[in-house]
């Protein structure tokens, strides 16, 4: 009866409910006027200290020693913590699989990726902490590194962890149906080998943590822009050696974007909380952009071999997956989530009954991976949808016909996939037909034909994908065998939490355990709850901040896996309906009507039969505060209702390893037309059409905004973005000059279409929509480019240089004997050159100056000190600033093959906070016939670490500056002079090459 009253209230309260309208966003007034409250905007307690992190310049090296005494003595420094200090007061972070492996938030004896924390410096301000970081002397012994996931499995590859023999963290095989027979009987077999690159999201706001420790209770309080999920709360508490009720985790009111990556804040929460414990003062740390690019989490890169057994008409009979997942240097929880989130959806939108799978997880010398928008989806669909196009090409069929032939039939829903997913609803064929008509595919095909007739490179790409949302916590346990799962105990569900409260004046407040990063939670929740109570959205106050010490939350709480609309908003609706049912009983007793006759509308609680018989909502809502004794016996309390909801459809993996990975499954069908310029090989999107079925649409404007945002990020992944590493693990894309992002000038306007098949599994019928284009767009564009170029294989990102290799073949090597004085760049890491210069003074005088420590200290730019170890061995400290960074570096140079005063060979290296390098060269001195010296040189230098990450854009200009400064000083010291040819001092290069670009931010 109560439920009927509430439903009646919803249906009759107004002609048009608030849900489904594009009302003005509540959040925008503050955000667009600069009044957002982000973590770095909030005040901190008096006495708060500030932290900076010293990071490894090497991808793989033993730490032989760390000298921190000079840093600790610097005025204003409260503490300098290294691995042994952190290890003494914390536990290892949870590793994503059962293995004898430790995972710390800071390097312990060995570094395994560029940017791994080596020391935490805490001081009275950030600048003082950074000054102290440059005084720390770390001695490393480099090891061999491995960055390719398949190379990590090769015999003899460097091993990162003894507990992961051969770098293999997990190896599982799965079999569904009878794939062997399907392949044996099929007339055709098509296969594809693809590499999905490593990329990430780049939110405007980077990581931030403010932590304090209460020694009396041994409890921590942490403010962090942590996204969740709150399963990681347990991981953090365990690492800090306290029970969960001794870890209070709060979030700021606003977060400047996340897209998944702020889940990766959690190791820094442990690190900064440990620093707060040592110093017994609050400690604040805000990550900068260079740190974020180099050392925050990214999406996994994956090597996939995928085969299909195919009938003559293009029907896919079976799939054989072989996936090798690169999770970086440490397998941190919740990884290998990216690999298993899509396990139930390996057949995509297609009706395929037979599947075999091999999943391997490897570790490499790259940053540890984590959640990233669409996590797991882009990697799966790039392989599957590229294979669908390969099938069409091989059978000389239209790719769209192959897609339509294999789509799940509309009458099959809810549809159970071979691997276990329960697809809730959909009419895929109708969605495709609508998109084809409304997106004018026939017109686009005619345009392609005309362009090709003119000799232009024009192609059309298609893709059809299922977008999962509301993740089942149990999917990650599919990495375990059935026996291991029985031993560990069941894990499953997707519990969402919402609280609706009424205050003494009848105002409504909503609180949810889901921290938004720009999605508009407050707006949508106000619409949902307003519809239940017959109010206006402006009457509803929504709080999305989290405080684990006070608020209702669960292990599944958080904002991830597109769970807000389907799970969180739906739970808020359930909480509001429960209170509305009780208020209906109260109003019924006061209005002398049956509870079934009650309707909530226009700010009143009234009789449906006699609308004039009514009472103000605020008066009924406040009664539980002012006169609880007058409430009907069956009404119950009406002050506050908290609902914990988990759908019964999300069960643990079964004995056959079938798993319903997610609750809701939207459908996306995309097609696009692109043209590739024959000269520049630049890809131009002519038209992009995307059809979405995300169930019930709660706020059309925000749904389209989510689609545009996902499309833009996917465009970056397809055409621009890649985390690039050198063979030694050096990070090559450490600035936004090298890690390219699309801007508004590069992003076309997609044509967005919708249809709605509500989910039967949620109270609102909504499904997720925020991640879908990150899954569909990269492969749709890749299919279009492959069609334009007439090639079988393409690799992301589709940068012109990569397409040029497909069209024109590999670029020939540069001619021998190039211009002198110009460094030859190889991967932006290696420098070779030769040249000459003239300096006043006889060769004997110049020779003596080059070997005199005092002279060298006075002429090397930024040199703090030069020490002579032996007559042919020197050590120096130098400080150099180039572009956005400055750093202090320790150098070691030795002389060989001396022929005084005519020639000498020099060899040396340098290591700084974020960079390292080494060089070798030959200097020859000869009289110039005019009383001076002609100096000629040849050199070969290499750089790594942060040096390599930003050297690609600044290297040439920086070297000219440094060399110019050196020669000007040397000439003055020798009594005046001039330079001819390339300006160069090999000693200056050897003393400074590794320090050229790293150091203090």
Structure tokens at 733: 């894309």
pLDDT at 914: 52
Nearest to 84 by CA among 54, 108, 60: 108
What is the structure's pLDDT at 995?
Answer: 39
Distances (CA, A) of 889 to 69, 313, 323, 694, 996: 17, 66, 42, 55, 9
* pLDDT single digits (tens) 214-262: 999 999 999 999 988 788 999 999 999 999 999 999 999 999 999 999 9
Kindly provide the residue ranges of all beta strands, DSSP E only, lying in 85-136, ordered along the sequence: 110-111, 117-123
Question: Is 789's pLDDT higher than 70?
Answer: yes
Handedness of CA 584, 589, 591, 597 (dihedral sign): positive
Residue 471: strand pairing partners: 662
Query: Helices 946-973 and 843-850 meet at what angle, rounded to 10?
Result: 130
- 430 pLDDT exceeds 70? yes
DSSP designation for 811: P
pLDDT score recorded for residue 290: 92
pLDDT computed for residue 984 by the predictor: 38
User: pLDDT category, 666, cuts 50, 70, 90?
Assistant: very high
Residues 859-896 have pLDDT tens digits of 566 677 777 777 777 777 777 665 555 666 677 777 77
pLDDT, one tens digit per residue, over 191-204 is 999 999 999 999 99
DSSP assigned state of 678: T
The overall average pLDDT reported for the chain is: 89
DSSP symbols for 868-896 = EEETTEEEEEEEEEETTEEEEEEEEEEEE
Nearest 5°: phi and psi at 834? -155, 160
Q: Which residue has the higher pLDDT, 16 or 761?
A: 761
948-980 per-position pLDDT tens digit: 555 544 444 455 455 455 545 555 565 544 433
pLDDT tier at 405, thresholds 50, 70, 90: very high
User: Distance between alpha carbon 121 and the CA centroid of its chain, in Å?
Assistant: 26
What would the pLDDT profile of 582-614 be if each residue is shown by its tens digit? Answer: 999 999 999 999 999 999 999 999 999 999 999
pLDDT for res 998:
34
3-state secondary structure of 417: coil
pLDDT at 944: 66
- What does the pLDDT average to over 633-653? 93
Instruction: Give the number of other Cβ atoms within 10 Å of residue 920's Cβ.
Output: 17
Residue 967 pLDDT:
47
Q: What is the mean pLDDT of residues 284-309?
A: 96
Of 585, 645, 634, give the one whose Cα is nearest residue 2: 585
Greater model confidence, 781 or 807: 781
Residue 750: pLDDT over 50: yes
pLDDT surpasses 90 at 435? yes
Angstrom CA distances, 883 to 54, 400, 956, 961, stand at: 20, 50, 12, 11
Instruction: Tell whether the model's pLDDT for residue 369 goes beyond 90.
Output: yes
Residue, of 775 and 867, whose pLDDT is higher: 775
Residue 293 pLDDT > 80, yes or no? yes
Q: Give, in order, the Cα–Cα distances in Å from 969 to each of 849, 891, 906.
A: 12, 20, 20
- Identify which has the larger pLDDT, 217 or 907: 217
Question: What mean pLDDT comes out for the span 26-36?
Answer: 93
Residue 10: predicted pLDDT: 45
Spatial contact of 90 and 270, defined as CB atoms under 8 Å apart: yes
Tell me the whole-structure pTM to 2 decimals: 0.88
pLDDT at 992 over 80: no
**DSSP class of residue 244?**
G
Percent of the chain with pLDDT over 90: 75
Q: Would the pLDDT of 713 be above 80?
A: yes
Predicted confidence at residue 828, as pLDDT, reads: 40
Chain segment 75-98, per-residue pLDDT in tens = 999 999 999 999 999 999 999 898
Q: Which pLDDT belongs to residue 568?
A: 96
* Whole-number Å distance between alpha carbons of 880 and 946: 14
Q: How confident is the model at residue 815 (pLDDT cuts 50, 70, 90)?
A: low
* Confidence tier at 496 by pLDDT (50, 70, 90): very high
d(CA 756, CA 703): 12
Q: Which of 39-53, 135-149, 331-345, 893-907 has the lowest mean pLDDT?
A: 893-907
CA dist 623 → 428, 637, 638, 727 (Å): 50, 10, 8, 70
Q: How confident is the model at residue 940 (pLDDT cuts 50, 70, 90)?
A: confident
Average pLDDT over residues 920-927: 82
- Helix or strand or coil: residue 15? coil
pLDDT at 945 > cutoff 50: yes
Residue 461 in contact with residue 686, Cβ under 8 Å? no
Which pLDDT belongs to residue 936? 79
Other Cβ atoms closer than 10 A to 212: 24
Confidence band, pLDDT 50/70/90 cuts, at residue 546: very high
At 104-147, the pLDDT tens digits run: 999 999 999 999 999 999 999 999 999 999 999 999 999 999 99
pLDDT at position 1: 36
CA–CA distance, 315 with 413 (Å, rounded to integer): 20
H or E element, residue 138: strand 137-142
Cα separation, 380 vs 383, whole angstroms: 6
The span from the CA of 343 to the CA of 480, in Å, is: 13
What confidence score (pLDDT) does residue 965 get?
Answer: 53
CB 920 within 8 A of CB 940: yes
Residues 821-840 have pLDDT tens digits of 334 334 345 666 677 777 77
The radius of gyration of the chain's CA atoms, rounded to the nearest angstrom, is 32
pLDDT at 347: 98
């Amino acid at each position: 009866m109560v439920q009927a009253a509430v439903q009646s209230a919803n249906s009759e309260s107004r002609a048009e409910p608030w849900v489904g309208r594009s009302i003005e966003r509540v959040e925008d007034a503050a955000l667009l006027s600069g009044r957002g409250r982000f973590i770095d905007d909030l005040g901190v307690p008096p006495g708060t200290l500030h932290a900076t992190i010293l990071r490894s310049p090497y991808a793989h090296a033993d730490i032989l020693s760390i000298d921190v005494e000079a840093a600790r003595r610097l005025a204003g420094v409260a503490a300098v913590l290294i691995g042994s200090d952190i290890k003494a007061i914390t536990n290892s972070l949870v590793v994503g699989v059962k293995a004898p492996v430790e995972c710390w938030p800071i390097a312990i004896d060995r570094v395994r990726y560029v940017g791994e924390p080596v020391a935490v410096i805490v001081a009275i301000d950030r600048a003082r902490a950074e000054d102290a970081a440059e005084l720390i002397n770390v001695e490393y012994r480099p090891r061999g590194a491995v960055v390719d996931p398949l190379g990590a499995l090769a015999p003899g590859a460097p091993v990162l962890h003894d507990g992961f023999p051969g770098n293999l963290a997990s190896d599982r095989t799965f079999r569904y149906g009878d794939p062997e027979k399907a392949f044996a009987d099929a007339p055709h077999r098509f296969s594809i080998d693809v590499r999905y690159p490593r990329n990430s999201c780049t939110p405007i706001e980077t990581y931030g943590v403010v932590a304090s420790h209460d020694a009396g209770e041994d409890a921590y309080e942490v403010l962090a822009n942590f996204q969740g999920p709150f399963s990681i709360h347990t991981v953090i508490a365990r690492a800090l050696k306290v029970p969960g009720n001794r870890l209070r985790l709060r979030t700021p009111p606003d977060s400047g974007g996340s897209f998944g990556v702020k889940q990766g804040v959690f190791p820094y929460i442990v690190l900064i909380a440990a620093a707060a414990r040592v110093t017994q003062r609050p400690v604040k740390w805000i990550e900068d952009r260079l740190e974020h690019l180099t050392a925050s989490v990214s999406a996994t890169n994956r090597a996939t071999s995928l085969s299909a057994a195919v009938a003559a008409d293009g029907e896919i009979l079976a799939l054989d997956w072989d996936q090798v997942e690169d999770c970086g240097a440490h397998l941190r929880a919740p990884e290998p989530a990216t690999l298993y989130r899509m396990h139930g959806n390996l057949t995509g939108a297609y009706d395929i009954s037979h599947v075999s799978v091999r999943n391997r997880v490897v570790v490499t010398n790259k940053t540890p991976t984590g959640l990233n928008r669409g996590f797991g989806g882009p990697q799966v669909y790039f392989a599957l949808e590229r294979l669908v196009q390969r099938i069409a090409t091989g059978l000389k069929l239209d790719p769209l016909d192959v897609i339509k032939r294999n789509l799940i039939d509309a009458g099959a829903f809810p549809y159970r996939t071979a691997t276990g997913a329960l697809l809730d609803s959909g009419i895929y064929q109708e969605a495709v037909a609508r998109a084809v008509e409304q997106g004018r595919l026939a017109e686009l095909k005619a345009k392609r034909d005309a362009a090709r007739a003119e000799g232009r490179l024009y192609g059309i790409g298609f893709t059809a994908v299922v977008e999962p949302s509301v993740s089942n916590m149990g999917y990650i346990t599919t990495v375990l065998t059935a026996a291991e799962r029985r031993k560990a105990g069941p894990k499953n569900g997707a519990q969402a939490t919402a609280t609706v409260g009424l205050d003494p004046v009848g105002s409504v407040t909503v609180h949810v355990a889901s921290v938004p990063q720009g999605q508009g939670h407050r707006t949508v929740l106000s619409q949902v709850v307003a519809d239940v109570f017959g109010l206006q959205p402006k009457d509803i106050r929504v709080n999305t901040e989290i405080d684990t010490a006070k608020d209702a939350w669960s292990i599944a709480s958080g904002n991830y896996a597109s769970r807000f609309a389907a799970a969180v908003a739906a739970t808020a609706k359930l909480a509001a309906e429960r209170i509305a049912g009780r208020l209906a009983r109260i109003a019924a007793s006061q209005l002398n009507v049956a509870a079934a006759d009650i309707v909530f509308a226009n700010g009143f609680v009234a009789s449906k039969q006699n609308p004039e018989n009514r009472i103000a909502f605020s008066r009924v809502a406040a009664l539980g505060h002012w006169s609880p004794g007058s409430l009907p016996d069956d009404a119950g309390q009406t002050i506050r209702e908290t609902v914990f909801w988990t759908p019964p459809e999300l069960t643990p993996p079964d004995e056959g390893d079938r798993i319903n990975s997610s609750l809701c499954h939207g459908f996306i069908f995309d097609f696009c037309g692109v043209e590739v310029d024959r000269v520049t090989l630049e890809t131009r999107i002519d038209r992009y059409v995307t059809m979405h079925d995300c169930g019930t649409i709660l706020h059309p404007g925000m749904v389209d905004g989510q689609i545009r945002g996902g499309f833009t990020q996917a465009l970056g992944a397809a055409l621009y973005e890649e985390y690039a590493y050198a063979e030694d693990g050096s990070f090559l894309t450490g600035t936004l000059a090298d890690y390219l992002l699309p801007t508004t000038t590069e992003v076309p306007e997609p044509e967005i279409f919708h249809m709605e098949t509500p989910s039967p599994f949620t109270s609102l019928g909504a499904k997720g929509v925020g991640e879908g284009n990150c899954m569909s767009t990269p492969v749709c564009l890749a299919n279009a480019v492959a069609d334009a170029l007439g090639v079988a294989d393409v690799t992301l990102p589709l940068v012109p240089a990569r397409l040029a290799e497909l069209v024109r073949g590999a670029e020939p090597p540069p001619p021998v004997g190039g211009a002198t004085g110009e460094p030859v760049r190889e991967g932006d890491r290696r420098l070779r050159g030769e040249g000459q210069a003239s300096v006043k003074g006889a060769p004997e005088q110049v020779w003596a100056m080059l070997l005199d420590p005092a002279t060298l200290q006075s002429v090397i730019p930024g040199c703090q000190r030069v020490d002579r170890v032996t007559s042919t061995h020197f050590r120096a400290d130098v400080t150099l600033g180039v572009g956005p960074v400055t750093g202090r570096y320790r150098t070691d140079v030795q002389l060989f093959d001396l022929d005084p005063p005519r020639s000498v060979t020099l060899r040396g290296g340098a290591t700084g906070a974020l960079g390292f390098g080494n060089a070798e060269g030959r200097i020859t001195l000869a009289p110039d016939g005019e009383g001076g010296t002609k100096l000629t040189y040849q050199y070969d230098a290499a750089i790594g670490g942060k040096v390599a990450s930003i050297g690609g854009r600044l290297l040439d200009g920086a070297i000219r500056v440094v060399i110019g400064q050196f020669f000007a000083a040397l000439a003055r010291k020798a009594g005046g002079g001039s330079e001819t040819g390339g300006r160069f001092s090999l000693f200056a290069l050897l003393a400074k090459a590794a320090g050229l670009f790293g150091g203090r931010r």
